[in-house]
Amino acid sequence: MTISDQDILFLGECLKDAARAEIMPRFRNLGDTDVSEKTSATDLVTQADLLAEHRITAALKERFPSALVVGEEAYDADKSVVPALADAELAFVIDPVDGTFNFAAGLPVFGTMLAVTVRGETVAGIIHDPALGDTVTAIRGAGAFLMRRDGQSSRLKVAEPAALNQMVGGMSWGHMEEPDRSRICANMAKARMTFAFNCSAYEYWMVASGKMHFIGHAKLMPWDHLAGVLAHQEAGGHTAKFDGTPYRPGETTGGIISAPDKESWQLVRREIVGI
């Protein structure tokens, strides 16, 4: 199964359409009944998440009727869809509003993510910023590009390697368990500057465009990482799980680090993750 250039354009338009129709009209305009807790007060779902995912899924099913569609919000109803990504002939993975806590708080740091996998390999990824209208698109073997709302396009490139005390980075230690949580949080003081966006879409855009040197996560749900990992790799970076193995569709455990190159990755793993 192959994905054509026209398919990529179609997928990008799907995300933009959902942003215009379902996400941005609700931004800073949510009622009390439009927001619900999933597992905690910081793990939320809004009507924008649900309706955007439904809209994107319907468009995908119409164009690719035999494809597997894995949406973050639909996952609760059928958890078998995630391991099925390892072998699916064609699959689409959707995060309708990545950074839902930020979105619900009125902070414009959120994004819509979509990854395309073919037989267990991510072949395309799209990250759309509904607030700014910018879109990152990555195609395996063809690079990663940022398309601005006004049509300007630029190729993405990761940051140059640097000493740890000169690196800018972020590790999602807030989602980790002890003792990893405290150890990694303390080790972040070794970096020059740290960020915590609570939004994979922004983190992968920052690391793929060279604005940050490294990012890391313990939680590996596919809608948070597949599109971003491909964008980072196509921008020249090195991404691997904590144990050094590649991250593949269908995997949900093991932790992950993205850095400019393998040597930088090893440095972050040793000095920040501490393993």
Q: From the annotation, which residues make up the binding site for Mg(2+)? A: 72, 95, 98, 224
Task: Report the DSSP beta bridge partners of residue 215.
Answer: 170, 258
Q: Are 68 and 88 in contact (CB under 8 A)?
A: yes
Task: Output the six-digit token pair for 67.
Answer: 């494809």
108 and 120 Cβ atoms separated by less than 8 Å: no
Q: Which residues does the annotation place in the binding site?
A: 72, 95, 98, 224
Three-class secondary structure of residue 243 per DSSP: coil
- Between vectors from CA 24 to CA 18 and to CA 25, what angle results, nearest 5°? 105
Q: Angle at the Cα of 156 (from 145 to 53), degrees rounded to 5?
A: 50
Nearest-angstrom CA–CA distance, 40 and 19: 25
Exposure of 110 in the CB half-sphere (CA atoms within 13 A): 25
